[in-house]
Amino acid sequence: MTKKNDALQYHAAGRRGKIEVVSSKPCLTSLDLSLAYTPGVAEPCLAIQERPSDAYLYTAKGNLVAVVSNGTAVLGLGNIGALAGKPVMEGKGVLFKRFADVDVFDLEVKSEHPDDVIKVVQLLEPTFGGINLEDIKAPECFYIEEELKKTMNIPVFHDDQHGTAIICSAALINALHLVGKRIGEVRIVVNGAGAAGIACANLALSLGAAPGNLCMCDTKGVIYRGRSEGMNPYKERLALDTELRTLEEAMLGADVFIGVSAKGAVTPQMVRGMAKDPIIMAMANPDPEITPEEALSVRSDVIMATGRSDYPNQVNNVLGFPFIFRGALDVRASTINEEMKKAAVEALAALAREECPDSVCRAYGNESFSFGRNYIIPKPFDPRALLRVAPAVARAAMESGVARTPIEDMDRYVEWLETLQGRAKETMRAIINKAKCDPRRIVFPEGDHEKILKAAHHLVEEGIAKPILIGNRKKVEAKIAELGLELSVPIVDPEESELTETYAQELYRLRQRKGITLSEAQRIVRRKSRNHFGSMMVHMGDADALLGGIDTHYPDTIRPALEVIGRQPQLSGVHGMYMMVFKKGIYFMADTTVEIEPTAEELAETALLAAEKVRLLDIVPRIAMLSFANFGSVHHALTQKVKRAVEIVKERDPELEIDGEMQADTAVTPELLSNYTFTTLTGAANILIFPDLNSGNICYKLLHRLGGAEAIGPLLMGMKKPVHVLQRGDDVATIVNMAAIAVVDAQSM
């Protein structure tokens, strides 16, 4: 469960809140300034004045959604007000951006009067490409959405209504498929007549449910014709001509229960009275109307969905709204209509019936998913959801006549959508998930460092690795308590450990011909060097990998590892590589840290080791051997060395994609690379091998500091066992990423 302090710290740390505005155009020179603002900005203004649709060409309007709320029905918190609801609206913006690359401004309106909300949104229509209404209480939310859809020419979508209904309906379609029932024949009970409940009922009817078979209930019981208490026009439309009066009566013989009401609203006795193969969607948050354990205790044939991530079949709105808006925006839809919503339902339902990829399974602890009673809805982190739902919504908008800029080539559109997913971050997530499949023991020599302890806590919580902390036991335990961490991991104190004398004897054996006496070995292991002690743990098999350097100089970490663990005997030395994580991709750069002036043979060795490392991370290597010239354009000793290195690599690994010598821009730019039709690279390189330490070190540090790349490394290559080095400025997230890579390394040993 999420802890209060962790949640508050998440929102308060660093830049306050969860969002920022970032310029998408450069503004570095006087020319940039004159184009961004006066006088250049007048040109697009005049163009838009002449043709208003050009706003989609010259401004961010076409990818900008307003998340609008007055805070009257925030999550499970109720009417907490517009200001208190702002963290939720910011969070909605984060999800829009993360899952569909849609930009968001959150607008909190300080009024409970629906006409005020309507007027505010109407006046802001020139700014936005779409409106996402959020956390507005019923029945006002129905009136607000209806009026805005009548008067505005951009999509308006109340996610609490339609988002829940869409995901719920996708699950319903698949559940009915599994039990062999038709939606037009089943009896459906909906409990909760607020925004989500009424939307679920309406969409079920739109999908073919029989009006006479759908029974709505609220806190007063069944909504029947002629009832006066607690009614409104929206409930009236769903009133049933029936003698049923209570939820318990309605549930008797029902095939489907849809709950968006309150904890405990459904009893095991009610479940017992349902029809064969009952379908229960208990979506009250945070606690469902009935838990799966309670339902299954009385019926083994029940199919259940809830709103919670710790149970199968989570009805999560994030499977809907980012992708629905993505599709609507991309065809400049004037509205989000019933056809578009039904298209989203069908796309999600079909996706759950597809074979689930390994990447999704790894994201959930390597759990296997296949279409069935415990998997009727795709998982929120399934990257295919964007690629299925957005095109389906866009196509439905075109077919229903509300798309103003139809997509001509849907296949190319899907390819474009793939580029929005931020493959770099997805790659890192895949590495973490691979680590979680088989966590290994990672020893941290700086076990009392605050960042190490926080990273260790995360590694344990996420099941990525099994940390071992080296340090003074009392100091480490005191630091853990000071940080308020619940961290139970091995703490090894060299001054009291029973391993110390054994390690000293082994270090003496390894280094006695290198000038070390037994007494010096004892002093090094016991007091002088925790890096030596950590390296001995890996060498002796008491740990699987070492990760150090957060508070020491680079040589002080790598030297003990070389002395104790050593390099692989068939290699000339060890090599270093950085993983450079950009928003749209990952590049691997070697050798950036070890070899100062490598020979052709050493360059080839670096390339082969880099390819091996990248393959471990489930990435297909494409290697460019860099120089200052392209493919023999300059005959020089330095270019000839690189050319010879390429030849050596091709001799040793003929299947490996590698070419050179080439310039850096040629290596990473497909348009430039395509000029050389003879190259063996099938696309832009993702591994760059530098000709010397000077160029490699300078390049990666500039990219890290000025290019906005996250530098993960250095990753040492060629050691007998995994050893990686942290940098003093590394944050907790980087330490976690490095640990995941170390685990994946160890898995291959």
**What's 431-565's CATH class?**
alpha beta
According to CATH, where is 3.40.50.10750 located in the chain?
575-718
Q: Which fold does the domain 575-718 belong to in CATH?
A: Rossmann fold (3.40.50)
Distance of CA 97 to the CA centre of its chain: 11
pLDDT of 436 strictly over 60 = yes
The pLDDT of residue 363 is 67
Strand partners of residue 719: 567
End-to-end alpha carbon distance in the chain: 35
* Cβ contact 344:386 at 8 Å: no
Q: Which of 240-244, 349-353, 593-597, 658-662 has the lowest mean pLDDT?
A: 593-597
277 annotated as belonging to a binding site for a ligand: no
Beta strand 130-133 pairing with 156-158: parallel
**What's 162-400's CATH class?**
alpha beta
- The more confident residue out of 512 and 182 is 182
DSSP states of 592-621 as a string?
SSS-SS--HHHHHHHHHHHHHHHHHTT---
303 annotated as belonging to a binding site for a ligand: no
- The more confident residue out of 730 and 621 is 621
* Cβ contact 434:362 at 8 Å: yes
- The string of pLDDT tens digits covering residues 584-623 is 778 999 986 777 889 999 999 999 999 998 988 888 899 9
Q: How far apart are CA 464 and CA 738, in angstroms?
A: 11
CB contact set of 536 (below 8 Å; sequence gap of 6+): 499, 503, 506, 507, 525, 564
pLDDT of 437 strictly over 80 = yes
pLDDT band with cut points at 50, 70 and 90 for residue 3 = confident
Q: How far apart are CA 342 and CA 348, in angstroms?
A: 10
pLDDT band with cut points at 50, 70 and 90 for residue 712 = confident
Q: Which tokens belong to 175?
A: 């559940």
Mean pLDDT of the region 469-476: 95
Q: How far apart are CA 142 and CA 158, in angstroms?
A: 9
pLDDT band with cut points at 50, 70 and 90 for residue 422 = low
- The string of pLDDT tens digits covering residues 332-369 is 999 999 999 999 999 999 999 988 876 677 667 668 78
160 annotated as belonging to a binding site for a ligand: yes
Active centre residues (catalytic): 92
Mean pLDDT of the region 436-463: 93
State the DSSP H helix or E strand holding residue 562, giving kind and residue range, or none if neither: helix 554-564
Q: How far apart are CA 617 and CA 741, in angstroms?
A: 8
Q: Which CATH architecture has domain 38-154?
A: 3-Layer(aba) Sandwich (3.40)
The pLDDT of residue 433 is 84
DSSP 513: G
According to CATH, where is 3.40.50.10380 located in the chain?
38-154
487 annotated as belonging to a binding site for a ligand: no
172 annotated as belonging to a binding site for a ligand: no
pLDDT band with cut points at 50, 70 and 90 for residue 140 = very high
pLDDT of 530 strictly over 80 = yes
According to CATH, where is 3.40.50.720 located in the chain?
162-400
pLDDT of 1 strictly over 60 = no
Mean pLDDT of the region 312-338: 96
pLDDT band with cut points at 50, 70 and 90 for residue 671 = confident
253 annotated as belonging to a binding site for a ligand: no
131 annotated as belonging to a binding site for a ligand: no
Q: How far apart are CA 398 and CA 388, in angstroms?
A: 16
User: Per the omega criterion (within 30 degrees of 0), is the bond before 139 cis?
Assistant: yes
Strand partners of residue 542: none
Mean pLDDT of the region 88-102: 94
- The string of pLDDT tens digits covering residues 184-227 is 999 999 999 999 999 999 999 999 999 999 999 999 999 999 99
* Cβ contact 205:354 at 8 Å: no
